[in-house]
Structure 1
Amino acid sequence: MAIINAPLAGLQALSKGYRVAIIHDWLVVSGGAEKVLDALLQAFPHAEVFTTVYAMPQEERGRLAEHVVHTSWLQRLPRIRDHYRYYLPVMPKVMARFDLSRFDLVISSSHAVAKGVVTHSGQRHLCYCHTPMRYAWEMRDDYLRDARYPAPLSWCAERMLERLRRWDAATAAGVDHFVANSANVAGRIRRYYRRESSVIHPPVDLDAFPFDPSPRDDFYLAASRLVPYKRLDIVVEAFRDMPNKRLRVVGDGPERGRLEALAAGAENIEILGYQPRDVLRRLMTQARGFVFAADEDFGIMPLEAQAVGTPVLALGRGGALETVLGPEHGDAATGLFFADQCADSLRAGLDAFETLAIDPQACRRQAERFSTEQFWSRWQSLLTSSLS
């Protein structure tokens, strides 16, 4: 007999009488935001999806293949999958051109431009905010530094980011209710948009990351998209100077070449590139610990590691403070924080981490607090109050 998921069934029943549009910035790679989208698509099985670019590999599309997906004119440009970020300056106008007039409920899943869609007074616009646009706000200087534009282009980029910041703040008024993915992001919404928000954490697929109490191997795992702000460079630097500790890095992206150069000659470090989810899950299950050096909005991978029973060594900032429990929690501890975003601090953290005895069951219990069922249940409560 099929098991009925009560929160999901309740949410689907609640939304049944509404025509729903889900707006997503772009669909190019499968990351944390796309996992949230997948859970929303289960909850709203008749929803139509709107996005600037849909260039996700076929094997990563999952439930998207079951939904109508509307794209913008950017979709027709050559090699858009490789160059979509260069079109960020025009994306606000692209979003504004989507015609959503036939929908009752608009849900934007936004970390950049999705919340800027135009709605009218007869609609409800709920924004699930992964973060206010990081390029325009707190990562502005990092973006300009990493881009290394020559002088004339750097001036143009600064002006572009200023315009995006003004647009981002102004379009917050078009959202009826903000939902933040963490208390960390709720603080940014309050600071930048002057708006309050509900907090609904992203869901962890506990079935995809089953608990495994088997003895661990002697390597550490780091995994993410290989982009500058994830700071995999300090992880590689730390392990390069500790040849007695092994590191495996999973992921792909523009930082891969630099990380491989940093790891050159270090026999204890393996840069594995992109790996399918079953391989990633196996590595998480085998690893002694999961290393997370990003100042992240939320960060789903530390919870996936905890779901299989693997403790986490994380930077003590951002979303990790909401997902990892340090030694002060006693038997409920699931990891340890290092203080500063640098290799020296991470090395000291590793030494302290190896003195801890963390219960894998405690890691699993912590991950269960962020289950997909909890995500759907909180959405059901939100819609009950928002649509009544």
Structure 2
Amino acid sequence: MSLKYALVHEWLTPQATGGSELVVQEVLQHIEADVYALIDFESTNPQSYLFGRSIGTTFLQSLPFARNGVQKYLPLLPIAIEQLDLRDYDVILSSSHAVAKGILSTPQQLHICYCHTPMRYAWDLTFDYLSSSRMGRGPQGLITRYLLHQLRQWDALSANRVDYFIANSVHTARRIWRCYRRQATVIYPPVNIERFPFQTQKEDFYLTVSRLVSYKRVSLIVQAFNQLGLPLVVIGTGPDLEAIRKLAQPNVQVLGFQPDSVVEQYMTRAKAFVYAACEDFGIALVEAQACGTPVIAYGAGGALETVRDIRQHPNSGTGLFFQSQSADALIEAVNTFERSKNSFSPEQGRLNAAGFAPKIFGDRYLAFLEQCQEGYKSQFSPENFKFPQAYSP
């Protein structure tokens, strides 16, 4: 008997085109599943892989300004995801960076969650969120803190609804353990490396591509290059765009949003790709390496799993790390790169990026799915049932 699958993601909009959406797209290449989300504005988008597809949504779909993102309705997200009725499915696959893992299920259903990150604004980025938003100040700040406290409680509780966790990096697996006390299997997300042209000849500019929000630390990069006087191109948009434009000196070009074709060309031609955020995975770092472009990155989070520091890997290095999120540390790393730039092999970057190709993801995801189905069927059969042993790292 064939199993019936549901795939649940947080939100599907033309603005949401990051690594989590690539996971959804790749999973649907291999598994025939009905798709659900808090909101969906992709099935009506002719440029989307979901165009024309029937997608189940929640009451958030009809709320004002939902198309621009449901984060403004943060307190309603847990309630909304719990309204999706998936009782007709045998297997639930959630792709979660906020609340998708909180879907309600029955004891007969298998729930596998690909966790891109535990909800950042409820955990790691709570104080960034409070300090950068007017909602974090004054009397309303007390209400915001209480709501985030409630959200953390729900988030930890809803982790118990997942049978098996997949993490997109070892860094994320550690965070899953820290927040939920749950073990996770690491399967790196797919990176479409064939989309990025490989080029050995580079031009005399540095590049960063990022959403312009505070935790990405793009302002730190601009401050460092203001002092260095070296050419930097900044691509991306977000609430910090105007502040970054005002901060930039003449040697820094802030291009704002650019289509994929333009991003690919800049990434191919850049002398090096610069990144200052602590990412759970960091797909842009792999994309840069696919172009043969070295990476200068903050040495924390997923970057430690995707970039090889040439000081530790002289023959296969693909980048350099700096050890603190400060302009001085980045300046030192750029100066080190300028002295050693001829030591980098573009071919090594492409070779390293190939380890994150979609086929590798697909093979590992399907193998893990099969393993979970067999384990779940065996463990919870009446004759074999016993409570799982507690995991300790």
TM-score between the two structures when normalised by the length of structure 1: 0.92
Distance in 1 between the 2:46 and 2:313 partners? 37
CA contact (8 A) 1:311 1:360 kept: yes
| Structure 2 match to 1:12 | none
Q: Report the more deviating stretch, 167-176 or 32-41.
A: 32-41
Residue by residue over 1:181-231, the C-alpha shift from the partner in whole angstroms, topping out at 9 and shown as x without a partner, is 000000011111111110001111022113222x11101110011111111
Q: Could you say what secondary structure the match of 1:203 adopts?
A: coil
Query: CA shift at 1:67, angstroms?
Result: 3.2
Identity %: 42
**Over residues 42-81 of structure 1, what are the superposed CA-to-partner deviations in whole Å (9 max), with x where a residue is unaligned?**
122x311111122359668532125321111111122223
TM-score normalised to the size of structure 2?
0.91
Partner of residue 133, structure 1: 119
Q: Aligned partners of 1:317 and 1:56: how far apart in 2?
A: 33
Distance 1:153-1:188 versus aligned 2 partners, 3 A rule: same
State yes or no: 1:338 paired with 2:322.
yes
Q: Matched residues in 1 for 2:239 and 2:64: separation?
A: 20
1:166 to 147, 153, 160: 153
Distance in 1 between the 2:82 and 2:28 partners?
23
- 1:237 equivalent to 2:223? Answer yes
CA apart distance, 1:178? 0.2
Aligned to 1:258: 243
CA–CA separation in structure 1 for the residues paired with 2:264 and 2:63:
35
Cα distance between partner residues in 2 of 1:285 and 1:303: 12
Q: Letter of the aligned partner of 1:184 in structure 2? A: H
What is the letter of the counterpart of residue 241 of structure 2? R
Decide whether the 8 Å contact of 1:47 with 1:67 is kept in 2: no
Higher relative contact order (CA 8 A, sep 6+): 1
Q: Which residue of 2 aligns with 1:326?
A: 309
Q: 2:170 aligns with which of 183, 199, 210?
A: 183
SS at match of 1:51: strand
The letter for the 1-side match of 2:233 is R
Which aligned pairs between 1:77-156 and structure 2 lie closer than 5 A? 77-82=63-68, 84-149=70-135, 150-156=137-143
Any conservation in 1 of the 2:197–2:268 contact (CA below 8 Å)? no
Residue 290 of structure 1: aligned partner: 273
Alignment of 1:191-270 (within 5 A): 191-213=178-200, 215-243=201-229, 245-263=230-248, 266-270=249-253
Matched residues in 1 for 2:224 and 2:187: separation? 34
Q: Work out whether residues 288 and 311 of structure 1, in 8 Å CA contact, stay in contact via their aligned partners in 2.
A: yes
RMSD (CA atoms): 1.5
**In structure 1, how many angstroms separate the alpha carbons of the residues matched to 2:103 and 2:275?**
34
Corresponding residue SS for 2:315: helix
Q: C-alpha distance in 2, partners of 1:171/1:59?
A: 32
Partner of 1:7: none
1:15-34 matches, within 5 Å, as 17-28=2-13, 29-34=16-21
Cα separation, 1, equivalents of 2:325 and 2:107: 45
Q: Please say if residues 172 and 193 of structure 1, whose CA atoms lie closer than 8 Å, have aligned partners that are also in contact.
A: yes
Unaligned runs of at least 5 residues, structure 2: 375-393
